[in-house]
């Protein structure tokens, strides 16, 4: 038998040739990650050099199209959002008049002046009062309406369009109608109260009644809109979870509070944040609630909100510096409220998640020990099936929250 031996490659030195026992013979040069990257770059440059014009256009389209798609939003935001915000801060540092323009540089003097102005704190109190009177009933009513529309009722489309009709009406028309209805002498509300032998209410001259009247406008217009958003979230909840809970013996109210509400928590956070922003920026309703009043917000400023006070400072007193300072303080207040809503909702979610895990662990331990959730023996198959159904329901709910 003949053995063929392949001689090692010549490395340019005769000392390592022949036997192949030298360290430099028969071994390929080691490749480092840097050399691999350089090789790939050379290959990419070569491939790009050989591309046709159409292939280059297609390659550019794949890389640049996403940036072109999102560019309009950032351009518009920079023009109508970011630039006015920065420019308003610059104006707030000056003694700025509407007609003469920029004047003396005062720094944070406008902020200090507003923080010591009782009219500013009065407007902030009115804003918070109207916001609470409108946001809380609005959210409760929206959840209630969404829960009804989520049921199997007749003419679903008609009722869904009906709750959206108040949102379609312009705020000016809504304010004028409600202003006439809440008129102190000839208004519909006081006429109805007098028909039941009740004394009329001073809706436009007293503080709390005026806040209730303005909050009713906001609730009438925005409740249906928020209800449709919550309805869309409720319909996205898997129906098999409700069916499993129903088979396990859970009633409609128990399913609603244990499955539906926890499942729509992200949408609830969105609705709460948008309602907070809109409530703290309310302007049209208090501005047109009493058109005959010479002072914006009532004769004693009893329902003058912060935005209305800002408008009065800018266009009636022509002090744009202080008005810009008010705008920035309101912006910071809205940011604080948004952060608080986020932290509270996350805290509630984490607490409920821990409680659900403990409940699931107890059910699993009871199932393995042959007892039901109440500690009784469960030898029958029905009890075992119910326990398994409860475990499946708890696991599905936990997976949905995650």
DSSP code string of 145-180: HHHHHTS--S-HHHHHHHHHHHHHS-HHHHHHHHHH
Q: 182 and 176 in contact (C-beta within 8 Å)? A: no
Q: What is the pLDDT of residues 315-351, one digit of tens each?
A: 888 889 999 999 999 999 999 988 888 788 777 766 6
The C-alpha angle 60, 66, 69, rounded to 5 degrees, equals: 115
Tokens 């396990």 map to which residue? 248
Q: What is the pLDDT of residues 129-172, one digit of tens each?
A: 999 999 999 999 999 999 988 888 888 888 888 888 888 888 88
* Mean pLDDT value across residues 347-366: 72
- Residue 371 has φ and ψ, to the nearest 5°, of -125, 155
What pLDDT score does 215 carry?
A: 93
Tokens 């159409």 map to which residue? 54
Handedness of CA 241, 247, 248, 254 (dihedral sign): positive
Distance of CA 354 to the CA centre of its chain: 24
Tokens 């920029």 map to which residue? 102
- What is the spatial distance between Cα 397 and Cα 402, in angstroms, rounded to a whole number? 9
Q: How many C-beta neighbours within 10 Å does residue 275 have?
A: 21
- What is the spatial distance between Cα 92 and Cα 133, in angstroms, rounded to a whole number? 31
- What is the spatial distance between Cα 6 and Cα 335, in angstroms, rounded to a whole number? 78
DSSP assignment letter at 79: I
Q: 25 and 8 in contact (C-beta within 8 Å)? A: yes
Q: How many C-beta neighbours within 10 Å does residue 338 have?
A: 16
Return the exposure string of 200-209: e unless at least 16 CB atoms fall within 10 Å of the residue's CB, then b. ebebbebbeb
Q: 187 and 106 in contact (C-beta within 8 Å)? A: no
Range in 73-77, 102-106, 198-202, 374-378 the model is least confident about: 374-378
Nearest partner of 130 among 8, 370, 303, judged by Cα: 303
247 is written with which tokens?
């088979």
Q: Model pTM?
A: 0.71
pLDDT above 90 as % of the chain = 25
19 CB-near residues (< 8 Å, 6+ apart): none
Range in 96-105, 163-172, 289-298 the model is least confident about: 96-105
- For the chain, give the number of residues: 402
DSSP assignment letter at 206: S
Average pLDDT, the chain: 80
Tokens 């005026």 map to which residue? 210
Q: Given its phi and psi angles, is residue 249 left (phi above 0), alpha (psi -120 to 50 degrees) or beta?
A: left
Q: Is 250 helix (H, G, I), strand (E, B) or coil?
A: coil
Q: 261 and 322 in contact (C-beta within 8 Å)? A: no
Q: How distant, in Å, are the alpha carbons of 166, 231, 238 from that of 401?
A: 33, 18, 12
What pLDDT score does 237 carry?
A: 85
* Beta pairing partners, 319: 97
Residue 20 has pLDDT above 70, yes or no: no
278 is written with which tokens?
């809109």
109 is written with which tokens?
């003097």
- What is the spatial distance between Cα 118 and Cα 178, in angstroms, rounded to a whole number? 29
Q: 352 and 359 in contact (C-beta within 8 Å)? A: no
Q: What is the pLDDT of residues 191-218, one digit of tens each?
A: 999 999 888 899 988 899 999 999 999 9
Q: 300 and 283 in contact (C-beta within 8 Å)? A: no
What pLDDT score does 343 carry?
A: 82
């Amino acid at each position: 038998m003949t053995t063929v031996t392949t001689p090692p490659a010549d490395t340019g030195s005769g000392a390592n040739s022949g036997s192949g026992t030298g360290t430099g013979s028969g071994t390929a040069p080691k490749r480092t990650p840097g050399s691999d990257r350089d090789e790939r770059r050379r290959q990419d440059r070569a491939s790009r050099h050989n591309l046709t014009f159409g292939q280059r256009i297609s390659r550019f389209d794949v890389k640049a199209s996403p940036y072109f798609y999102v560019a309009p939003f950032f351009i518009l935001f920079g023009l109508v959002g970011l630039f006015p915000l920065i420019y308003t801060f610059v104006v707030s540092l000056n003694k700025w008049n509407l007609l003469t323009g920029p004047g003396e540089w005062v720094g944070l003097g406008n902020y200090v002046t507003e923080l010591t102005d009782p009219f500013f704190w009065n407007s902030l109190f009115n804003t918070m009062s109207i916001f609470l009177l409108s946001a809380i009933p609005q959210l409760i009513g929206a959840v209630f309406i969404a829960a009804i529309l989520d049921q199997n009722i007749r003419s679903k489309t008609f009722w869904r369009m009906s709750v959206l009709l108040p949102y379609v009406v312009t705020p000016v028309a809504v304010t004028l109608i409600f202003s006439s209805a809440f008129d102190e002498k000839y208004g519909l509300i006081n006429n109805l109260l007098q028909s039941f032998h009740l004394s009329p209410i001073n809706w436009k001259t007293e503080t709390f009644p005026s806040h209730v009247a303005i909050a009713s406008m906001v609730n009438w217009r925005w409740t249906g809109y928020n209800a449709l958003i919550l309805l869309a979230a409720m319909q996205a909840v898997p129906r098999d979870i409700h069916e499993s809970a129903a088979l396990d013996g859970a009633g409609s109210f128990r399913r609603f509070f244990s499955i539906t509400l926890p499942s729509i928590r992200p949408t609830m956070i969105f609705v709460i944040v948008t309602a907070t922003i809109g409530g703290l920026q309310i302007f049209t309703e208090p501005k047109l609630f009493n058109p005959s009043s010479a002072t914006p917000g009532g004769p004693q400023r009893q329902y003058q909100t912060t935005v209305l006070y800002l408008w009065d400072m800018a266009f009636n007193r022509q002090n744009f510096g202080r008005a810009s300072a008010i705008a920035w303080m309101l912006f910071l207040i809205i940011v604080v409220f948004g952060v608080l809503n986020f932290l509270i909702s996350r805290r509630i979610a984490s607490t409920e998640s821990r409680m659900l895990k403990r409940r699931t662990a107890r059910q699993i331990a009871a199932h393995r020990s042959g007892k039901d959730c109440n500690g009784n023996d469960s030898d029958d198959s029905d009890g075992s099936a119910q326990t398994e159904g409860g475990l499946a329901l708890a696991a599905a709910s936990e997976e949905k929250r995650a």
